[in-house]
Amino acid sequence: MKLYYSPGACSLASHIAFVESGEDYQKEKVDLSEHKTESGKDFYEISPRGYVPAIETEDGLLTENPAVLTLLADRFGTAPEGRDRYKMLEWIGFIGTEIHGAYGPLFGGAEGSEKEAAKQTVEEKFKLAEKLMDGGDWLVGDKPTPADNYLFVTTLWAEKFGVNLPRTLQDYRARHKERPAVQQAMKEEGLG
């Protein structure tokens, strides 16, 4: 399989899953502002959506975090079973639509009152995430899943945009930064 990623983008969640799996994979960096791959290809020719994550599999290209993260969890044996599987999918949906989506104006260069309103919205989403975690160290069960990778990435964006995180999510982010797969993926993306 091959991962197309952009440093620090939501594709970092998939990158962590690949590293954690210990499986062989290829990766190629994408400059999203130019829509060019590291090897100079037009990324729109690879993925008409033009954004990451995108993975090439033996069955063709797959995009969108819910699909990519679920495939990786299934392929690498990190998907929980039974009800917890659906809780993982619920979290991936919530993170993508509510938290990631709320960052849209900030990634779009919002200024002034629009920027402050967007930051407040993201902070409210993180407060809800904290409540939904109900004191757990991880989102589902007793170990991280790809959903945790995704939430972790959004907490990194909080640092970038000056979004205040609840204390428990600051601790959550710190726990992730201790994980060897997270450290390796971030290093490979030039993030630390």
> What does the pLDDT profile of the chain (192 residues) look like in tens digits?
999 999 999 999 999 999 999 999 999 999 999 999 999 999 999 999 999 999 999 999 999 999 999 999 999 998 999 999 999 999 999 999 999 999 999 999 999 999 999 999 999 999 999 999 999 999 998 999 999 999 999 999 999 999 999 999 999 999 999 999 999 999 999 997
Is the same domain home to 94 and 39? Answer: no
What local confidence, expressed as pLDDT, does residue 94 receive? 98
Is the same domain home to 159 and 88? Answer: yes
What local confidence, expressed as pLDDT, does residue 45 receive? 97
Q: Report how many domains make up the chain.
A: 2
What local confidence, expressed as pLDDT, does residue 43 receive? 98
What local confidence, expressed as pLDDT, does residue 20 receive? 94
Query: Which residue's entry shows tokens 């004191």?
Result: 135
Q: Which domain holds residue 24?
A: 2-77+182-188
CATH at 58: 3.40.30.10
Inter-residue long-range contacts of 22-31, CB under 8 Å, 24+ positions, other chains counted: 23/75, 23/76, 25/1, 26/1, 26/2, 27/2, 27/3, 27/188, 28/2, 28/3, 28/4, 29/5, 29/189, 30/4, 30/5, 30/6, 31/6
Q: Identify any residues that bridge with 121 across adjacent strands, giving them in sequence order.
A: none
Is the same domain home to 155 and 90? Answer: yes
Is the same domain home to 25 and 90? Answer: no
Is the same domain home to 13 and 54? Answer: yes
Is the same domain home to 55 and 131? Answer: no
Instruction: Indicate yes or no: pTM above 0.85.
Output: yes
Is the same domain home to 65 and 130? Answer: no
What local confidence, expressed as pLDDT, does residue 192 receive? 73
